[in-house]
Amino acid sequence: MAAIRGAEAILFASAQPVGADELAERLAPGTDVPQVLADLRTIYASRGVNLVEVAGKWMFRTAPDLAHLLTREQVEPKKLSRAALETLAIIAYHQPVTRAEIEEIRGVTTNKGTLDVLMETGWIRMRGRRRTPGRPLTYGTTEAFLVHFGLEAVTDLPGVDDLKAAGFLEGAVPPGFRVPVPNASDALMPDEDPLTELDFQDYAPLPPEE
């Protein structure tokens, strides 16, 4: 019971999701953390807040059926432009992806400001540099992206069937149309080089495109 109360206190006090490893470090040695989390999840399953796993970590969230009670307390984030939303979707499904690859998929030039806005939200990050001429930067999503959209992993993003069920794909789907399976690995791909300090020093946000 002491371990459950301790984990409960840590999770409630944290503004960010907490990993099992962090709980293990802060609880008594030998604590069965997976069991503690399972017990807490059961205890809170029928309460106003639920213990949920997001991006491989744990946090308390308002029970879905009570979300309407908190609408007055909801902070309205700055609305992203259509270009930013399209760019975010491409990065989420095609990561690791370069700016040139984003432009090829969108069919239009992507303003650097759009990528800057997404980086400022904390939803995307620079991953590495592609081993091609010019060594372009590659981009991927972050843990904050998973937390915001309530995903355990990028592989939980909706596929074709999910999009159809949600009404986003109406009518006949063109032959050969498919939704790519997102890359769930945070490790650099064989064609990526790690970033250097200079990559971050050179990063200078620009105004977003309209």
Q: What pLDDT digit, counting tens, does each position of 170-182 carry? A: 555 556 666 777 8
Res 206 pLDDT > 50: no
Supply the pLDDT for residue 24. Answer: 93
* Mean pLDDT, residues 93-116: 89
Mean pLDDT of 130-152: 91
Cβ-based burial of 146 (10 A; exposed 0-12, middle 13-18, buried ≥19): buried
pLDDT at residue 118, as a whole number: 92
- Please determine, looking at this structure, whether the domain spanning 2-65 carries the CATH number 1.10.10.10: yes
Q: Which residue, among 32, 52, 209, 187, has the nearest Cα to 115 in the 3D structure? A: 209
Q: What is the pLDDT of residue 80?
A: 83
Percent of the chain past pLDDT 70, that is, above it, reads: 82
Q: Where are the domains of the chain?
A: 2-65, 82-201
Which residues face 52 on adjacent strands?
A: 59
Common-topology check for domains 2-65 and 82-201: yes
User: In whole numbers, what is the pLDDT of the chain averaged over residues?
Assistant: 84
Residue range 104-126: average pLDDT? 89
Per-residue pLDDT at 208 exceeds 90: no
Tokens of 24: 């293990």
Whole-number pLDDT of residue 81: 86
Per-residue pLDDT, 173: 54
- 54 has pLDDT over 50: yes
- What top-level class would CATH report for the domain 82-201? mainly alpha
Please report which confidence band the pLDDT of residue 207 belongs to, taking 50, 70 and 90 as the band edges: very low
